[in-house]
Amino acid sequence: MTDHLHRFHFQQAPVRGHWVDITSTMARIEAAQQPPAPVRRALAEMVAVVSMLAHDIKFEGSVMLQSRGDGPLHTAMAECRDKRWLRAIARSTALAEDQPFAELIGNGQLAISLIPKDGEIYQGMVGLDHPTLSENIETYFATSEQLETRIRVVTTPTRTVGCLLQRLPTNPESNEIEEEADDEGWQRVTLLFETTKDTELLELSPTQFLKRLFPTDPIFLDDALPLEFRCTCSREKSVKILQTLTREEIDEALASDGFLEVVCEFCESRHRFSGVEIYTAIEGRRPPVH
């Protein structure tokens, strides 16, 4: 089964949510980057979170999470473009096996960016006060957006599944009794959500999962929306990278290998250029005459 996301909403509580499976995307990322286990887990959580947040935004564009810090995971990035295309990358040094997300980053920053196709980029800073990414994102939404959110991501070497719940704003015309009913509805649903076992997320279909956790709640589950790993690298972009090299650097690489190759760090695609191709691609320069 390819990666996919289901939206759902509760019919009798002010709650909507997303259920996501990004197992195939993580397999692609792992094959290309072979991250150590704690970095793989951090990337899995980041990719699951951006894919779910991307389905909350109203515009066309991307959602990106980027971290930078003095911990062993010094940079990481995950993005979901057009509610469908996923990719991620991490750079790390030696790590301990069981470090939680915030410790992996150390002293640093985690930024969430909303990048519309047209219009201005919005960037928010996510605090790193809690051990997991999910908890920090929940706090970010509660404080910066006044949106109560619960996120759970479970990842193993063979499967990554996530679920997000968000409280819908109370109707401004509601009376006190209706507001109280909304509060109670949200609290009841989140208490049940907190009982989620890893195996329930990993082993049950979204329909079974929601039935198991919320047996008395009528929940409307939308059809699956496909998600897929896809990189943005290309031969044209590789040319731009080659244009930053000096003539000496190019000559040196050609002399030793006979070609130059630009390897994408996200997907491991290799764009290979012969001497003639390089010099014609770069500003239309001709190969040097020796």
Contact between residue 138 and residue 166 where contact means Cβ atoms under 8 Å apart? no
SS3 73: strand
The nearer residue to Zn ion, 86 or 189, going by C-beta atoms, is 86
Does residue number 264 form part of the binding site for Zn ion (CB under 5 A)?
yes
Q: Which of 266, 271, 273, 278 binds Zn ion (CB under 5 A)?
A: 266
DSSP 216-271: TS-EEEPPPEE-EE-----HHHHHHHHTTS-HHHHHHHHHHHSEEEEE-TTT--EE
Under the criterion CB under 5 A, does residue 111 sit at the interface with Zn ion?
no
Size of residue set near Zn ion by CB under 5 A: 6
Q: Which residue, 140 or 266, has its beta carbon nearer to Zn ion? A: 266
Residue 269 binds Zn ion, judged by CB under 5 A: yes
What tokens appear for 27 in the block? 């397999």
The least CB distance from residue 207 to Zn ion, in Å, is 35
* Run of H or E including 116: strand 108-116
Closest to 35 in 3D by CA, of 77, 85, 4, 66? 77
Q: Which is nearer to Zn ion, 76 or 264 (CB)?
A: 264
Burial (CB < 10 A; 0-12, 13-18, 19+), residue 276, is exposed
What is the three-class DSSP state of 276?
A: helix
Name 7's bridge partners: 18
Alpha carbons 186 and 178: distance in angstroms, whole number: 12
- Segment 140-199, which members bind Zn ion (CB under 5 A)? none
Interface map 224-263 toward Zn ion (x if CB under 5 A): -------x-x------------------------------
**Closest distance to Zn ion from the beta carbon of 60 (Å):** 22
CB of 254 to Zn ion, least distance (A): 23
Q: Which is nearer to Zn ion, 237 or 285 (CB)?
A: 237
Helix (H, G, I), strand (E, B) or coil at 38: helix
Is residue 29 part of the contact set for Zn ion (CB under 5 A)?
no
Q: Which of 267, 271, 273, 278 binds Zn ion (CB under 5 A)?
A: 267
Is 102 one of the binding residues for Zn ion (CB under 5 A)?
A: no
Q: Which stretch binds Zn ion (CB under 5 A): 120-128, 205-213, 245-253, 268-276?
A: 268-276
Q: Which residues bind Zn ion (CB under 5 A)?
A: 231, 233, 264, 266-267, 269
